[in-house]
A = this chain, B = another copy of it.
Amino acid sequence: VDRTARSGAGGIVFLLTDYGDADEFAGVVRAVIARDAPGVAVIDLTHGIAPYDVRGGAAALERCAPHLGPGVVLGVVDPGVGGDRRSVALEVPGTLGTGPGRGPRHLVGPDNGLLLWAADWFGGVEAAVALASMDEAAAGSGVVTFDGRDRLAPTAARLAVGAPLADLGETVDPETLVRLADPVVRLSWRRLEAEVSWIDRFGNVQLAAGVPHAETAGLVGPLTIVVEGRSHPARRVLAFGELAPEEIGLLVDANRRLALCRRQGDAAAALGLGPGQTVALSP
């Protein structure tokens, strides 16, 4: 065990992936971080992002962002693995956050937009490097790489024990980083269309819209929700407890986003909704 690293560390690596919990993917990444950065804590944000769902992963990471203390975020949702997309490490100010030590200073992952919504929350990307390609021998051998295990986790471990960003790869212009399209939010007179950005375990449906959108569209009192051409009655409420058992409510959720929900019921199932669909709301 590298005692120097341990004593110098005390850092945290936060993990968010689409690896699931059934296979050993996440476990091996945890083990690699422990091996390369003994004494650094690993915190699993979630490994339950739907396979290849970069938008879902980016939205989840953005929701986590305000609540993280100092550390390194390692995100992996990577449909382009084995293609030519870059892997990157990003530096953010670290001065934003809710704890005394403020938030993360670094994010590591594929350059496909997964990290940028969270990086925006952290104050934007101050510096970025493209990680060196896996060694040429490996690349030439026709062996597929497990990027999370072989490149991203070791990089996060090095950052967690204090390696400077510039040591980890070639500097790239933050403006060249791949950015996801903004979520769909369309406002018109007495009408809000918004993309579903998350359906949680309880069937709550988070929309990519916030309080100002609801106010502008006049969403107060009784509402109509249109999903795939079908209308459903709903009601603007302040809390779950105001809802009758079968009723659909629109409220402002704990991420300050608009959400459709039922009281101890599954609003997504009731509305036939899945992530990425678009919903229209009218008073």
A residues touching B (Cβ–Cβ < 8 Å)? 1-2, 6, 10, 12, 14, 16, 19-28, 30-32, 34-36, 38-39, 41-48, 51-52, 60, 63-64, 67-70, 79-84, 97-101, 141-146, 149-150, 198, 200-202, 238-241, 251-254, 256, 259, 264
Q: Name the distance in Å between A59's Cβ and chain B's nearest Cβ.
A: 10
Q: Name the distance in Å between A117's Cβ and chain B's nearest Cβ.
A: 14
In this complex, what residue of B is CB-closest to A149?
A: B67
A42 to B45, CA, bound (A): 13
In this complex, what residue of B is CB-closest to A29?
A: B67
Residues of B within 8 A of A101 (CB): 1-2, 35, 38
Q: B31–A48 contact, CB under 8 A? A: no
Contact of A45 among B16, B28, B51, B70 (CB under 8 A): B28
Q: Name the distance in Å between A160's Cβ and chain B's nearest Cβ.
A: 12
Q: B51–A30 contact, CB under 8 A? A: no
Classify the interface of chain A: helix, strand, loop or mixed. Answer: loop
Residues of B within 8 A of A251 (CB): 142, 144
Residues of B within 8 A of A200 (CB): 23, 25
Q: B31–A68 contact, CB under 8 A? A: yes
Q: Name the distance in Å between A68's Cβ and chain B's nearest Cβ.
A: 5
Beyond A28-B67, A144-B239, A145-B254, list 8 extra A-B contacts (CB 8 Å).
A10-B39, A20-B48, A23-B198, A27-B43, A31-B64, A35-B67, A80-B241, A143-B252
Q: B31–A143 contact, CB under 8 A? A: no
Contact of A254 among B21, B144, B256, B259 (CB under 8 A): B144
Q: B149–A254 contact, CB under 8 A? A: yes
Q: B254–A146 contact, CB under 8 A? A: yes
